[in-house]
């Protein structure tokens, strides 16, 4: 996986993006936090133009890569959004992980997405749709992508060209296969909570990850903090950047 570093400060932060996203969603926060810290942004294989992983289980592949990265740098704070959260939860269970520290799970995908099962059951058809979105002329693909993106981002005006570019540069097979894995995911938190702190960011109007799933995760973890983002959808770093930055700093600075 591709990793980009911002800053040369004392503390180190790792951020893992979500499905159909890229590290570019976090350039702004990396620039601000990178004034006093080292911030590492991941681009997951198959997204942002990165080469697709040649494997059957994409989530497992991402997890292995993440564990290796976490062991090599020993980050003070690790943030995973959506798919990145699902990957991070798995990494925290991996026996190969050599240390524990602070974690933020931002709108994490957890225990499946029930209402999308009828759609992604036909994941090969979804792959065909993603292929068309990536190859169709921009004036055709752009409005379609923005309409679909309303599932993720609550307000139309928040959907910018970055999302469109990320969708068009994603590998259609990886996007469709990963969506199926996430929707039918049965992975549950089972490990003892040995991490220094676990904070969950959730949004009031998240249309992808329900509050029921977040409550289930919090119950499974046992000891964690939930930060509620009001009046926004699934992409908290974009829809309420000031609060995302404020609470990230608070977690980082807490002893």
Q: pLDDT-based confidence at 74, cuts 50/70/90? A: confident
Residue 121: per-residue pLDDT = 76
* Token pair in block for residue 85: 């959260």
What pLDDT shows up at residue 201?
97
Angstrom CA distances, 36 to 32, 69, 122, 254, stand at: 8, 21, 47, 15
> What is residue 132's DSSP assignment?
H
Q: Has residue 118 got a pLDDT over 90?
A: no
Q: Say which residue, 26 or 148, is predicted with more confidence.
A: 26
For the segment 112-130, the average pLDDT, to the nearest whole number, is 82
Q: CA 64 → CA 3, 95, 111, distances in Å? A: 15, 11, 20
Residue-level pLDDT at 233: 94
Query: How far from each other are the two terminal CA atoms of the chain, in whole angstroms?
Result: 31
The answer to which of 10-14, 38-42, 158-162 has the lowest mean pLDDT is 158-162
Structure confidence by residue, pLDDT tens digits, 133-167: 888 898 888 888 888 888 888 888 888 888 889 99
Q: In the CATH hierarchy, which top-level class contains the domain 2-111+187-253?
A: alpha beta
pLDDT in tens, 218-254: 999 988 999 999 999 999 999 999 999 999 999 999 8
Q: pLDDT (tens digit, 9 = 90+) per residue, 163-184?
A: 889 999 999 999 999 999 999 9
Output the CA–CA distances (angstroms, integers) from residue 121 to 27, 183, 235, 250, in the order listed: 34, 9, 25, 40
| 50 pLDDT more than 90 | no
| Residue spans of alpha helices (H) in 42-82 | 58-73
DSSP 108: -
What is this structure's pTM?
0.93
Mean pLDDT of 109-126: 83
pLDDT of residue 3: 92
For strands 77-81 and 11-16, give the pairing. Answer: parallel
* List of residues 6+ apart from 44 with CB closer than 8 A: 1, 16, 17, 50, 62, 83, 84, 87
Residue bearing the bigger pLDDT, 213 or 138: 213
The predicted pLDDT at position 139 comes to: 87
């Amino acid at each position: 996986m591709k990793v980009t570093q911002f800053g040369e400060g004392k503390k180190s932060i790792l951020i893992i993006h979500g499905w159909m996203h890229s590290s570019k969603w976090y350039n702004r926060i990396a620039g601000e936090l990178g004034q006093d810290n080292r911030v590492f942004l991941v681009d997951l294989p198959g997204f942002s133009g990165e080469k697709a992983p040649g494997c059957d289980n994409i989530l497992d592949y991402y997890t292995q890569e993440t564990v290796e990265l976490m062991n090599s740098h020993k980050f003070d704070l690790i943030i995973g959004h959506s798919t990145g959260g699902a990957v991070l939860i798995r990494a925290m269970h991996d026996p190969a992980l050599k240390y524990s520290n602070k974690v933020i799970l931002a709108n994490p995908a957890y225990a499946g997405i029930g209402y999308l099962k009828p759609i992604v059951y036909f994941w090969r058809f979804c792959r065909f749709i993603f292929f068309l979105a990536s190859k169709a002329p921009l004036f055709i693909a752009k409005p379609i992508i923005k309409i679909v993106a309303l599932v993720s981002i609550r307000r139309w005006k928040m959907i910018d060209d970055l999302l469109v570019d990320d969708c068009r540069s994603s590998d259609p097979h990886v996007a469709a296969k990963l969506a199926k894995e996430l929707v039918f995911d049965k992975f549950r938190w089972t490990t003892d909570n040995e991490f220094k702190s676990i904070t969950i960011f959730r949004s009031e109007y998240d249309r992808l990850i329900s509050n029921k799933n977040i409550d289930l995760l919090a119950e499974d973890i046992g000891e964690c903090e939930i930060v509620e983002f009001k009046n926004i959808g699934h992409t908290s770093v974009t829809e309420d950047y000031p609060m995302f930055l404020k609470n990230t700093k608070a977690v980082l600075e807490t002893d």
